[in-house]
Structure 1
Amino acid sequence: MKDELRSRVCAVMAEVLQIHGSCNVNIIRGNTEQWDSLKHLELILALEEEFQVRFTAEQAVNIHSLEDIVTILGGS
């Protein structure tokens, strides 16, 4: 279940952040050049649409990695 979730999140991140090649668990906002504040907002909106959820402002601010997203979505 968690691997499927991670795979879906990875696909959304790859599309929004235009990551070519394989998406991996090491995607971190601080070391991904294209993950700026505008792309962060686009990512949040794309994830909300894909997973039919709404992130709270606190959750959105605290997303810094693929694993953060998986953790939040896994608890929903």
Structure 2
Amino acid sequence: MGSQVRDSGVVHALLHSKDYDELLGHAFCGKSWEGFVIENILNMLPSPVQAFFYRTTNGAEIDWVLELAPNK
């Protein structure tokens, strides 16, 4: 699996998007928006929460699996 950039602004800079309309026309725009939303939600969750991505060998996937720390 390739590298991941978690900052959508950095992604847009790497895509050399000159303006909003060019960004919307890029094939990566949907993934960028999804990453932006997920990153912002993760920043609001309590620290013991871990997030994972799950994909089976035949391609079925779950974008978000959250693991909560047990209460002690």
**Is this a same-fold pair by TM over 0.5?**
no
Q: TM-score, normalised by structure 2?
A: 0.29
Query: Which structure has the larger Rg?
Result: 2
Structure number with the higher strand fraction is: 2
Q: TM-score, normalised by structure 1?
A: 0.28
Q: Which has the higher contact order (CA 8 A, sep 6+)?
A: 1
Structure number with the higher helix fraction is: 1
